[in-house]
Chains A and B, each alone.
Chain A
Amino acid sequence: MIRLDNVTKVYEGGTVAANNVSLEIQKGEFVFLVGESGSGKSTLIRLMLRDEPVTRGTIWVAGKDITTLPKWKIPYLRRSVGTVFQDYKLLPNKTVNENVAFALEVLGRPSSAIKPQVEQVLDLVGLADKGARYPRQLSGGEQQRVSVARSFVNRPPIMLCDEPTGNLDPKTSVGIMKLLDRINRTGTTIVMATHDHAIVDAMKRRVVALDDGSVTRDELAAGYERRTEE
């Protein structure tokens, strides 16, 4: 579903954010990208979203080489990849309903189809009764649920999540993770950057650890820290 071949990203000024990273993520997988701040987790997410160009290497998303994608095709890539960020990235002047519907509006769906889809996804994230509220009227956890609803409303095959629990308390984080797990069970591939030990340890999914832009570990059903030999 996602493949990175010898991907390197060097920012202006010489900071190496990804160093010859090769990775293959299968359809339906749930992968944690872990590492300290500055290890290159967010950069990998942004490279997979074509928010940044790679310096070297190739990235394949859903069978397409996105590194050579012309600029005008980038929106099409983003419509097939749901994204969830730490700061929710909601439109403050739109209600919950409008925020979620916006992802379908850009696809040109008729309003008759948008309404039931929005209702359905808000029901899934447990916000069916808060559609008329504005983001500022919601708690952090609720705003992140709206963000998840928006990224999942058009049923993308891939979801990229960059520290989605970074601003949330542990209890609320568990709620968001349960939601992402539920979405993953529908067959959606999820890649999530995090440095939340508890979540990674609890979920026991594939873990890709990064350090200074390089992959230092890639384990299935793993915890945040490397397994020690007993």
Chain B
Amino acid sequence: MSRFFFLVREALTNLKRNLLVVAGAVLAVFISLSLAFGALVVNEVLRFNTLAWQEGVHVIAFLNDENAAGVSAGAHQGLIAEVESWEEVQAVTYYDKNDAWIEYQQIFDGQDDLLDIDPTILPASIRIELIEIELHSSVKFRLEQQTPVVREVDTAAEEIEQLQNLSSVLNVLGLGMAIVLGMSAVVLIANTIRLAIYARRDEVAVMKLVGASNWFIRVPFLLEGMIEGLLGAALAVFTVWLGSSRLAEATESFELIRLDVPNQFFFRWGILFLIFGALAGVIGSLLGLSRYLRDAEGVGADIPAGV
């Protein structure tokens, strides 16, 4: 136990003595993991916004007036009953001419020129929510067959589908970026630790001289790497969380897009990032050390090979 405390003390003392190198390593981890974590947050924003856009009405069918253009009385209700029976359909809402006029007034509120119209020209419509958004084309096709009651079919599904595709591409890109940046964090730490070891190679040689095993030499460096990784990751998580919350506050009034990533997401991924940061530090140190300790097996590694 006393040996463990000694090694921890060694690590902390070394951190204190090499503040500049430590700052460099922490900064390297912080930058890499901030970008990686930022990419994940952007992914999350895209994911839940796409989901939100997918909710609600997917297809609107504008209807011809009853008792006109060959449309019989009760044709609207007949159509609703039929559409409701389709298995692709989740829900159907009927907007009669009066509802259409109310909606029109809401949309163009304050634009008197546009409001000066004959309300009877506005068509009744049915708003359809689908079970799966991918089913929109078949529903649209079937609705278009419902003549003469259906005048025109409009769907936002194509745009949503495109957005969904874009979101998947961005998701893959974001994850790829997170992985690449995470790996670069490991390499940066490995390099920083190697520099630290190089600067202290005489010290390492003396440690070997008095019989310190490779692990005895390694452990303080591993702890240093772990602490650096943890610090960098904690800073990255905190910064991204702060930036995201501030951005969400600033864009609270936006209706089209939501930026308020739930704290649960930050908590879950934050812990993973802290673990990753610590691991990156340990792996980086191991990589940095393995090469050095392999090269410097003897105590006289720093001594020119004379006689």
A52 CA to B211 CA, complexed, in Å: 15
Within 196-234 of B, Cβ neighbours of A (below 8 Å) are at: 202-203, 205-214, 216
Within 160-181 of B, Cβ neighbours of A (below 8 Å) are at: none
Question: A91 and B206: CB pair below 8 A?
Answer: yes
A213 CA to B307 CA, complexed, in Å: 9
- The 0/1 profile, CB within 8 Å of B marked 1, for residues 1-33 of chain A is 000000000011001010000000000000000
Question: B307 and A43: CB pair below 8 A?
Answer: yes
In this assembly, does B300 line the interface, its C-beta being within 8 Å of a C-beta of chain A?
yes
Question: B306 and A78: CB pair below 8 A?
Answer: no
Q: Which residue of the partner chain, among B211, B214, B297, B306, contacts A79 with CB atoms under 8 Å?
A: B211
Q: A11-B305, A11-B307, A71-B297 are in contact. Are A78 and B3 (CB under 8 A)?
A: no
Question: B300 and A40: CB pair below 8 A?
Answer: no
Q: A105-B3, A108-B2 are in contact. Are A49 and B299 (CB under 8 A)?
A: yes
Q: Name the residue on B nearest A85 (C-beta).
A: B209
In this assembly, does B243 line the interface, its C-beta being within 8 Å of a C-beta of chain A?
no
Within 1-43 of B, Cβ neighbours of A (below 8 Å) are at: 2-3, 6, 13, 17
A103 CA to B297 CA, complexed, in Å: 18
Say how far A212's CB is from chain B's closest CB, in angstroms. Answer: 9
In this assembly, does A116 line the interface, its C-beta being within 8 Å of a C-beta of chain B?
no
Say how far B200's CB is from chain A's closest CB, in angstroms. Answer: 9
Question: A103 and B210: CB pair below 8 A?
Answer: yes
> In the complex, which of the residues B210, B297, B299 has the most CB atoms of chain A within 10 Å of its own CB atom?
B210
> In the complex, which of the residues B213, B214, B216 has the most CB atoms of chain A within 10 Å of its own CB atom?
B213
Q: A90-B206, A93-B17, A111-B2 are in contact. Are A106 and B298 (CB under 8 A)?
A: no
For chain B, which range describes its interface: under 10, 10 to 19, 20 to 34, or 35 or more residues?
20 to 34
On chain A, the residues within 8 Å of B6 by CB distance are: 105, 111
A78 CA to B213 CA, complexed, in Å: 10
Q: Which residue of the partner chain, among B13, B305, B306, contacts A38 with CB atoms under 8 Å?
A: B306
A108 CA to B219 CA, complexed, in Å: 14
Q: A40-B307, A46-B300 are in contact. Are A150 and B211 (CB under 8 A)?
A: no
In this assembly, does A89 line the interface, its C-beta being within 8 Å of a C-beta of chain B?
yes
> In the complex, which of the residues B202, B297, B299 has the most CB atoms of chain A within 10 Å of its own CB atom?
B299
Q: Which residue of the partner chain, among B17, B210, B297, contacts A78 with CB atoms under 8 Å?
A: B210
A43 CA to B216 CA, complexed, in Å: 27
On chain A, the residues within 8 Å of B210 by CB distance are: 78-79, 83, 102-103, 106, 150-151
Q: Shortest 7 CB-CB distances between A and B: which pairs? A: A79-B211, A78-B211, A17-B307, A51-B298, A106-B212, A75-B213, A103-B210
A binding-site residues for B, Cβ under 8 Å = 11-12, 15, 17, 38-40, 42-43, 46, 49-52, 71-72, 74-80, 83, 89-93, 102-103, 105-111, 150-151, 213
A-B contact pairs, 19 of them (CB 8 A): A15-B307, A38-B306, A39-B307, A42-B306, A43-B307, A75-B208, A75-B214, A76-B211, A77-B211, A80-B211, A83-B210, A89-B205, A92-B203, A102-B207, A103-B210, A106-B207, A106-B210, A109-B2, A111-B2
